[in-house]
């Protein structure tokens, strides 16, 4: 079974631009969660989508948004990029219907904002 894939793997943008990141979950998984990871900051939860609906949301500004398609693929968008948005963005997938499910992470997209 193919794992979680994320594209692109690396990205360089300048302040004020916007960016879209993509995540393809494991086949059959309907939940996709997004996390931001900066050095020494752990995993900061952005949001989770399940069956095309945002089910949970973290404490990030409205510049961070996401969506999920009918095939469970998900995208996240960051508008008006700031230097502080430089981070590793990870997505994780699961079936999303039980409290004993584990999350499977993709390799991440490393975003650098100049």
Partner 1 sequence: GQQVMQIPQYQHVQEGEDFTTYCNSSTTLSNIQWYKQRPGGHPVFLIQLVKSGEVKKQKRLTFQFGEAKKNSSLHITATQTTDVGTYFCAGFGLGSNYQLIWGAGTKLIIKP
Residues that bind partner 1 (CB under 8 A): 31, 33, 40-43, 45, 48, 50, 55-56, 90, 92, 96-100, 102-108
Instruction: Tell me how far, at minimum, the Cβ of 75 lies from partner 1, in Å.
Output: 19
Instruction: Tell me how far, at minimum, the Cβ of 8 lies from partner 1, in Å.
Output: 15
| 15 or 55: CB nearest partner 1 | 55
CB 66 within 8 A of CB 57: no
Cα 62 to Cα 46: distance, rounded to the nearest angstrom: 11
CB 25 within 8 A of CB 74: yes
| 79 or 107: CB nearest partner 1 | 107
For 60, counting Cβ atoms within 10 Å of its Cβ (0-12 exposed, 13-18 middle, 19+ buried), the class is middle
Instruction: Tell me how far, at minimum, the Cβ of 38 lies from partner 1, in Å.
Output: 12
């Amino acid at each position: 079974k193919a794992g979680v894939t994320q594209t692109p793997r690396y990205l360089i943008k300048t302040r004020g631009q916007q960016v879209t990141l993509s995540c393809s979950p494991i086949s059959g998984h309907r939940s996709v969660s997004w996390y931001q990871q900066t050095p020494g900051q752990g995993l900061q939860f952005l949001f989770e989508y399940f069956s095309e609906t945002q089910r949970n949301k973290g404490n990030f500004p409205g510049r961070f948004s996401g969506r999920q398609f009918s095939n469970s693929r998900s995208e996240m968008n960051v508008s008006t990029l700031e230097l502080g948005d430089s981070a590793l963005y990870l997505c994780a997938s699961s079936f999303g219907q039980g409290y004993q499910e584990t999350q499977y992470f993709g390799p991440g997209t490393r975003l650098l904002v100049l």
